[in-house]
Structure 1
């Protein structure tokens, strides 16, 4: 047999084998898309039913990342699809039938305007994710009509309600530019610290993708609100000696030892959850009273010694709540509440992030000891664990057609007609 005949037979065999592999790949991809469509329905039910908050998760995306073992990037895409599922029924049905992938529908859910479901469902059937992103960038966005406003003068107002305090600050362009520069500077510093923490944890875990979930659901990246508080604390405490009484940014709480009623100094009453939170580990000064008369000042509640803090960090490097990998700004929480007589000792302390610390004192999650064998439950009493819900399937895969995929042809954007949002009717 000649060498040319042998090479021809091998080439034919490889082509046939490749065709078989491509066929299996298309079948599995179609089934995966259909499974993602069903997952989107489940996440949408959790999202629109407002059930995710009871789990102690920070967001729907964090919940999806935690319980599926996905990266936060994929979880955010799924959360976006689930949140806008009622707006895109055709795209969602394409996922359920295996014709559209999560990445395709996720790009649409992140960027598409209202009433564009039919347009992008047709385009997604033949377009790649990159082509979809290009088409979405060409979609015209309505320009908000500026309203004439009077020249702002400096003013600061404060309003209170049961949910918190709202500050409204009005500044002129020059003053506003100064505040923007200060906030950007503090936010950049906070983000740099956050990234160093993130990279150090990733370095400890290596490149193992199984650690993505724990690394991604830690404390969220600092935002402008965090930068504002950093600016206030830095500016106030930096020149403390120049002010009357030399006061730092210390929160003062008055607690009635008999009635268990707490109030801020010269401020409103505190809820039971806020009182327990402030007297547990937040930086504050507690004054005890009986019959309206002060008895004396309690300790500043974040006075855990350095040695005790190091022992806590050595025992648990991250937030003790399963699914949360926060490592910075952790509070030393008293398992038996401090105001109930809980001792500031290693056996009665555990590190939790500020977010889950507040959730515990509000009754959303429960933390029970002993410290070396914690039990964390949600508001319905279900025990939380750090593992995902993934398990071997016990039902056959979805019966859907193989995934055809995008056509792969070059997109000629000169002839593409972007989606045109409908102009709202005007009342003349």
Structure 2
């Protein structure tokens, strides 16, 4: 009865007017939200939380699923180059659904005509109209696509000075695929903030070359399979004193690597124990054994599925991390290990954040800087 009394207090015309007005305000707020998100992304505010990108931050902080978050970012960036569409959206005249459809096809030269159609039309009509126009564009571009496909090539040459040159020409979509893979490889080996925001182009080019090499290594190591995290990526031999590994002063370590780097590598590696005499000569060499056995790695993948750092969705190149390091007495068990992507595993051992289990067994991540 209470609901009936509330409904009876206003006419349908008034109710309709309030709903339409509120919808326009929601449109305007949505535009403001996208504008702020775009600025946050450009300023890379998400890096402070050690996310790989802004979509992961939106997923964790704003409750948007990854696909929706990526689409919001796409629309936000597209609106920046479509002032008329952005203006109609900002005023509330254009809904997000219509703006999203228009940004898939509009250009600064065509948006005026598209807006004239979109504003009085329904969102479904706008979506269908834009889809039809995209299909026409695809048909017109088929010949160009065939020409670009036939023109693709890759060549390489080896030089006497020890260098190599690789030249490649690809269709646009194939090139974008390679660039995206390079971005992911760059994120895996470390982000640009490690060399400073003022890093030169020369440094960026060098890091992109490093990323290309990492992609090749990953493919050769079996990176084509999602389950490849159970295989050795490559083998590197690191010598470290057992006392240093267990937390003794770093001067006691025989490794040239920082001890936390060694501890990170030892989280998920093969270990050989060598007993030496006082002069450093080996007395006994033990058999190589894996710290994390393949069966445990498969169980971790089945349980965690992706990097456990909040908001991270990386599913490949995952390391098994010991919540309590085995060198400190931690067990190599399902309860004491979690999967982390290579970037977050490195950041954890560098002290950017810590992880532990609370009394109920839930993981607690705490930022240190």
TM-score exceeds 0.5: yes
Shift of 1:287: 8.1
Shift of 1:93: 3.2
Q: Which runs of 5+ in 2 are unaligned?
A: 1-9, 175-211, 224-231, 242-249
Q: Deviations over 1:245-290 (max 9, x none)?
A: xxx8641232343555757xxxxxx677754432222x45578899
Q: CA 1:299–1:40 in 2, change beyond 3 Å: closer, same or farther?
A: farther
Higher relative contact order structure (alpha carbons within 8 Å, sequence separation ≥ 6): 1
Match of 2:236 in 1: 252
Q: 351, 358, 364: which one pairs with 1:375?
A: 364
Q: Deviations over 1:315-374 (max 9, x none)?
A: 867754333577887543122445x63533449823123254344345554323458243
Match of 1:42 in 2: 36
- What secondary structure is seen at the aligned counterpart in 2 of 1:375? strand
Match of 1:205 in 2: none
- What secondary structure is seen at the aligned counterpart in 1 of 2:237? strand
Backbone CA RMSD of aligned residues: 5.3
Match of 1:132 in 2: 130
Q: Deviations over 1:52-94 (max 9, x none)?
A: 1232333222322332223333222211123345323433332
Q: Deviations over 1:100-127 (max 9, x none)?
A: 2223333344454567665655554345
In the alignment, structure 1 residue 233 sits paired with structure 2 residue 231: no
Measure, in 1, the Cα distance between the counterparts of 2:92 and 2:215.
44
The TM-score normalised by the length of structure 1 is 0.49
Match of 2:66 in 1: 72
In the alignment, structure 1 residue 303 sits paired with structure 2 residue 292: yes
Measure, in 2, the Cα distance between the counterparts of 1:31 and 1:337.
53
- Do 2:324 and 2:331's aligned partners in 1 also have CA atoms closer than 8 Å? no
Q: Which has the higher helix share?
A: 2
In the alignment, structure 1 residue 351 sits paired with structure 2 residue 334: no
Q: 1, 23, 27: which one pairs with 1:29?
A: 23
Shift of 1:376: 0.9
Measure, in 1, the Cα distance between the counterparts of 2:84 and 2:281.
66
Q: Which runs of 5+ in 1 are unaligned?
A: 1-15, 158-165, 174-179, 181-223, 236-247, 264-269, 381-428
Shift of 1:130: 2.6
Q: CA 1:307–1:66 in 2, change beyond 3 Å: closer, same or farther?
A: closer
Q: CA 1:57–1:249 in 2, change beyond 3 Å: closer, same or farther?
A: closer
- What secondary structure is seen at the aligned counterpart in 2 of 1:251? coil
- Do 1:34 and 1:95's aligned partners in 2 also have CA atoms closer than 8 Å? yes
